[in-house]
Amino acid sequence: MKKRFMAIGMAVILAFSLTACGGSSGSSGGSTSGSAASTDTGSTEAAASGEVYKIKMHHDLSEESAQHQGLLKYKEIVEKKSGGRVQIQIFANNTLGTDTEVAEMLQTGSVESALIPTAKLSGFYAPLQLLDLPFVFPTRDACYGALDDEEFKSMLLDPMEEIGFKGINFWESGFKQFTANSPLESMADFNGLKFRTMESPLIIAQFEALGASPTPIDLGETYNSLQQGVVDGEENPLVTIVSNKFYEVQKNCTISNHAYLAYALLFAKSYWDTLPEDIQQIIEEAAAEAVQEERQITIDNEDGYIQTIKDSGCEVSYLSDEAKAEMTEAMKPVHEQFRDVIGSDTLDKGYEIIESYNK
């Protein structure tokens, strides 16, 4: 009898345990089913819907950058509009790996989403090099107009689905400027100078057209290379020049806006295809809204960046219209050199769309 009562007691305890731990255990496509761990309103609504989509989001800059601030806005919009059904975790500073490594992770689906410089994606999809061409964007309005143009976006992003990427839209680090240890006021000033570049044939060709000697060096090693005289100068958007403190080891900064550093907001195509259509729409709408804030932050920060460079003792100058025209003409052959790589039709259509916004 005593053993019988003990058996009944154990059965009751087990029943209560199973009730307390109950819930659906199914999951697919990187989503988790059942109650979300958070107790906020969005997560409560998500629990009611039965499914939460968790997205790891990579980018390569600091938490102080315009990209990170823009992604925080993007996260806020997506999570609010989805009622907590989507939860985004942002990983700054290459925490998940380098841009190239994360691009490969997107292809395998081990990372859901990322913001990656288009220059670093050109090895995966060559036509993106259209955005890296020197002086391809004559004004900021022409640049933003083209990047937000549906035909322009589709032309460059849609074909990437075949290699595992779902492109959403284009973000930025901004227009590039030159730094060096001597003034850069004309083409002649570039002759023979050693410039650090990305590992990009197009950017290397750009500096060769200027009469300089390009040297590919990893961004993380650029400060020491400038300090030790391995190279004489480099090019980058102001945010990169300031965040990496290149002004400490350079005597001159020339505001030239000679090229543009775009970013592509990407999803793993395999993951994107698992998302419901309403979630996909929320993500696309949020990205279109957040990128406007990211660009405005970039613009708002420029004066402060320039002042930081000046305060360090690094001289800041502006490329004259005459010098800009001279350099534009000298680098036209670079456009033609990469016409077949980018695609002749793509390049010509790109010119046409960009010019339509050049007002």
- 117 pLDDT above the threshold of 50: yes
What pLDDT is stored for residue 9 in this prediction? Answer: 43
- 14 pLDDT above the threshold of 80: no
Which of these ranges, 34-48, 88-102, 190-204, 326-340, has the smallest mean pLDDT?
34-48
Rounded mean pLDDT of 51-75?
95
Question: Which residue type sits at 144?
Answer: Y
Question: Which residue type sits at 244?
Answer: N
Percent of the chain at pLDDT > 90 equals: 82
Count of positions (residues) in the chain: 359
Q: How is residue 43 written in tokens?
A: 């997560």
Note the pLDDT tens digit of each residue in 225-252.
Answer: 999 999 999 999 999 999 899 999 999 9
- 305 pLDDT above the threshold of 60: yes
Higher pLDDT, 140 or 14: 140
What pLDDT is stored for residue 301 in this prediction? Answer: 95
Q: How is residue 193 written in tokens?
A: 């100078």
The answer to whether 318 and 86 are in contact (CB under 8 A) is no
Name 172's bridge partners: 262
Note the pLDDT tens digit of each residue in 26-50.
Answer: 333 333 333 233 334 444 444 455 6
- 326 pLDDT above the threshold of 80: yes
Higher pLDDT, 32 or 77: 77
What pLDDT is stored for residue 220 in this prediction? Answer: 86
In three-state secondary structure terms, 196 is: strand
- 81 pLDDT above the threshold of 50: yes
Residue 341 CB coordination number (10 Å): 15
Inter-CA distances, 349 with 8, 55, 128, 149, 206, Å? 78, 34, 13, 12, 22
Higher pLDDT, 138 or 6: 138
Rounded mean pLDDT of 186-199?
95
- 24 pLDDT above the threshold of 70: no
The answer to whether 263 and 58 are in contact (CB under 8 A) is no
The pTM score is: 0.84
Average pLDDT value for the chain: 88
Mapping DSSP onto H, E and C, the string for the chain reads CHHHHHHHHHHHHHHHHHHHCCCCCCCCCCEEECCCCCCCHHHHHHHHHCEEEEEEEECCCCCCCHHHHHHHHHHHHHHHHCCCCEEEEEECCCCCCCHHHHHHHHHHCCCCEEEEEHHHHCCCCHHHHHHHCCCCCCCHHHHHHHHHCHHHHHHHHHHHHHHCEEEEEEEEEEEEEEEECCCCCCHHHHCCCEEEECCCHHHHHHHHHCCCEEEECCHHHHHHHHHCCCCCEEEEEHHHHHHCCHHHHCCEEEECCCCEEEEEEEEEHHHHCCCCHHHHHHHHHHHHHHHHHHHHHHHHHHHHHHHHHHHCCCEEEECCHHHHHHHHHHCHHHHHHCHHHHCHHHHHHHHHHHHHCCC
- 343 pLDDT above the threshold of 50: yes
What pLDDT is stored for residue 29 in this prediction? Answer: 37
Q: Read off the pLDDT band of 199 (50, 70, 90).
A: confident
Rounded mean pLDDT of 300-314?
97
What pLDDT is stored for residue 46 in this prediction? Answer: 46
What pLDDT is stored for residue 35 in this prediction? Answer: 27
What pLDDT is stored for residue 125 in this prediction? Answer: 97
Q: How is residue 225 written in tokens?
A: 């290379």
Rounded mean pLDDT of 271-291?
98
What pLDDT is stored for residue 50 in this prediction? Answer: 63
